[in-house]
């Protein structure tokens, strides 16, 4: 993992800021969204193609939970695991607002690589607004 790369610490910090902003409007669990920001890409092995990085991130979250490095309820852990596992799957669906907020926080940081976030690929109603899309532009 290149901590200075497109999926490194600067991205994680931006996802945390976007996620906190979104959670204020969506009612998502801020703790889960914050943890997602720093775990979702932590196990990337390649900056370009790495289709299994979400599954590795979910496994890493479970390791942190099992070792009591992070303390969450079982429900929060399920949200975090699903959000990490499926965050790069554009076909993934969830009815859970916290999971949706995690995914939108990540996708709303596509500006960093020159991609305008597409509202059709976002999950929360607030995430689809111009205010959210341009939050950290």
- Output the domain CATH number for residue 48: 1.10.3210.10
Mean pLDDT of the chain: 92
Residue 106 has pLDDT above 70, yes or no: yes
Asked if residue 112 belongs to a domain, the reply is: yes
Residue 124 has pLDDT above 90, yes or no: yes
pTM score of the predicted model: 0.93
pLDDT above 90: percentage of residues in the chain: 73
DSSP summary character for residue 5: S
Query: What pLDDT was estimated at residue 137?
Result: 83
Asked if residue 1 belongs to a domain, the reply is: no
Half-sphere exposure for 101 (CA within 13 Å, toward CB):
27
Query: What pLDDT was estimated at residue 3?
Result: 62
Query: What pLDDT was estimated at residue 4?
Result: 65
Residue 5 has pLDDT above 90, yes or no: no
How do residues 53-104 score in pLDDT, each as one tens digit? 999 999 999 999 999 999 999 999 999 999 999 998 878 999 999 999 999 9
Helix axis angle, 97-107 to 74-86, nearest 10°? 40
Neighbours of 118 (CB within 10 A): 12
Grade residue 1 by pLDDT with cuts at 50, 70 and 90: low
User: Could you tell me which residue, 3 or 75, shows the higher pLDDT?
Assistant: 75
For the residues 15-24, what does the mean pLDDT come to? 98
For the residues 102-131, what does the mean pLDDT come to? 94
Asked if residue 84 belongs to a domain, the reply is: yes
- By residue range, what is the domain housing residue 103? 9-133
Asked if residue 3 belongs to a domain, the reply is: no
Neighbours of 51 (CB within 10 A): 9
- How many structural domains compose the chain? 1
């Amino acid at each position: 993992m290149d901590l200075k790369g497109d999926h490194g610490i600067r991205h994680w910090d931006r996802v945390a800021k976007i996620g906190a902003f979104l959670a204020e409007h969506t009612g998502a669990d801020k703790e889960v969204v914050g943890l997602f920001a720093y775990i979702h890409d932590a196990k990337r092995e390649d900056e370009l193609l790495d289709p299994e990085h979400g599954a590795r991130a979910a496994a890493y979250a479970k390791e942190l939970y099992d070792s009591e490095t992070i303390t969450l309820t079982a429900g929060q852990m399920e949200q975090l695991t699903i959000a990490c596992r499926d965050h790069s799957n554009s076909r993934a669906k969830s009815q859970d607002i916290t999971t949706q907020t995690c995914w939108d926080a990540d996708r709303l940081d596509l500006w960093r690589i020159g991609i305008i976030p597409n509202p059709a690929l976002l999950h929360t109603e607030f995430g689809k607004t111009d205010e959210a899309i341009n939050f950290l532009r």
